[in-house]
């Protein structure tokens, strides 16, 4: 399992590339099966701060981000633009409304918490922050979080070499040495925080990080890689070649790999504002 950097470089706002954002439903079952979940330590930190039981999940997808909160007793409503992803979440019992969050009509509803797992970079940071402020009750909590995982430096270098050799045309190499130097979500988190501050409706913006590790089998890693934004749109011959090359590198290490994850989060409280 791995969560790759966003499919556009830091200088290019991902929310302007809706065709990438809405490509994940092409194989929603695989996405749901392969994507890593979120660590209990992160979910617990968010859950203990939400002052009630109602949560809106922005870009609920197949329900991966919503499930651990429902398991803790929260009532979760989702917003999701991709019909296939939304269908899987509904099959899990979630109430899901279609559309982009920025355009979604809350019909006067407010929530105790708004969460977004692995999705806020697809949301316009200014319009999204304003909408979040509108649907959160005072004292409510906004929590935006992302998983980022990397294999060992040696294996990452082999993956990077395979990726480069294929000339994919994608504007990033997720396993390059440069990608290893910093969180791929640094610029996204900065933009999200700036959007929240611009509303004047949120208190201090906190950033937290939870580090954890997981062992991934060869096939699970390759399946997850194939669901990552950008890579999931490669021509079949290049995708097959990428996965074959990565699989050979994993086989040479014994058929599985240890993945070091960091889950990063932005958390802010909706404050009462005066007219």
pLDDT for res 11: 37
Question: Residue 156's domain is classified under what CATH number?
Answer: 3.40.50.150
Residue 219 has pLDDT above 70, yes or no: yes
The pLDDT tens digits of the residues spanning 124-159 come to: 999 999 999 999 999 999 999 999 888 999 999 999
Which of the two residues, 10 and 269, has the higher pLDDT score? 269
Judge whether 5 lies within some domain: no
Of residues 147, 113, 186, 184, the one with CA closest to residue 38: 147
Judge whether 8 lies within some domain: no
Which of the two residues, 23 and 152, has the higher pLDDT score? 152
Any residues with CB less than 8 A from the CB of 260 and at least 6 apart, and which? 149, 150, 151, 211, 213
pLDDT for res 6: 35
pLDDT for res 70: 98
Judge whether 120 lies within some domain: yes
176 contacts 63 by C-beta, under 8 angstroms: no
Any residues with CB less than 8 A from the CB of 258 and at least 6 apart, and which? 151, 152, 213, 214, 215, 216
Judge whether 274 lies within some domain: no
Any residues with CB less than 8 A from the CB of 84 and at least 6 apart, and which? 25, 26, 28
- Cα dist from 84 to 27, 62, 109, 143, whole Å: 8, 8, 25, 25
The pLDDT tens digits of the residues spanning 57-114 come to: 999 999 999 999 999 999 999 999 999 999 999 999 999 999 999 999 999 999 999 9
Torsion, Cα 155 156 157 161, to 10 degrees, reads 100
Q: How confident is the model at residue 184 (pLDDT cuts 50, 70, 90)?
A: low
Query: Which residue range(s) make up the domain with 208?
Result: 14-269
Judge whether 275 lies within some domain: no
Judge whether 131 lies within some domain: yes
Q: How confident is the model at residue 24 (pLDDT cuts 50, 70, 90)?
A: very low
The pLDDT tens digits of the residues spanning 27-62 come to: 788 889 888 899 999 999 999 999 999 999 999 999
Residue 22 has pLDDT above 60, yes or no: no
Of residues 133, 136, 127, 253, the one with CA closest to residue 191: 127
Residue 120 has pLDDT above 90, yes or no: yes
Judge whether 192 lies within some domain: yes
Residue 15 has pLDDT above 50, yes or no: no
Judge whether 64 lies within some domain: yes
Domain count, the chain: 1
């Amino acid at each position: 399992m791995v969560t790759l950097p966003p499919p556009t470089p830091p200088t290019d706002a991902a929310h302007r590339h809706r065709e990438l954002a809405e490509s994940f439903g092409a194989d929603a079952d695989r996405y749901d099966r392969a994507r890593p979940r979120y660590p209990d330590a992160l979910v617990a930190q968010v859950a203990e701060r939400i002052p009630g039981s109602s949560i809106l999940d922005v870009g609920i997808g197949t329900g991966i981000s919503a499930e651990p909160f429902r398991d803790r007793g929260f009532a979760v409503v989702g917003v999701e633009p991709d019909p296939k992803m939304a269908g899987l979440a509904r099959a899990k019992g979630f109430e899901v409304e279609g559309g982009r969050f920025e355009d979604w009509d809350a019909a006067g509803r407010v929530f105790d918490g708004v969460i977004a797992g692995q999705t806020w970079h697809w949301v316009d940071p200014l319009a999204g922050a304003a909408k979040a402020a509108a649907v959160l009750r005072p004292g409510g909590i906004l929590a935006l979080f992302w998983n980022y995982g990397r294999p060992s430096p040696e294996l990452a270098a082999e993956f990077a070499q395979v990726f480069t050799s294929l000339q994919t045309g994608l504007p990033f190499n997720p396993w390059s040495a440069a990608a290893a130097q910093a969180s791929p979500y640094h610029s996204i988190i900065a933009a999200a925080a700036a959007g929240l501050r611009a509303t004047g409706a949120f208190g201090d913006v906190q950033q937290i990080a939870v580090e954890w590790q997981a062992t991934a089998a060869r096939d699970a890693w390759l399946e997850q890689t194939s669901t990552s934004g950008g890579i999931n749109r490669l021509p079949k011959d290049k995708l097959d070649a990428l996965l074959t090359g990565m699989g050979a590198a994993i086989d040479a290490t014994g058929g599985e790999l240890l993945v070091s994850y960091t889950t990063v989060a932005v958390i802010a409280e909706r404050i009462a504002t005066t007219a």
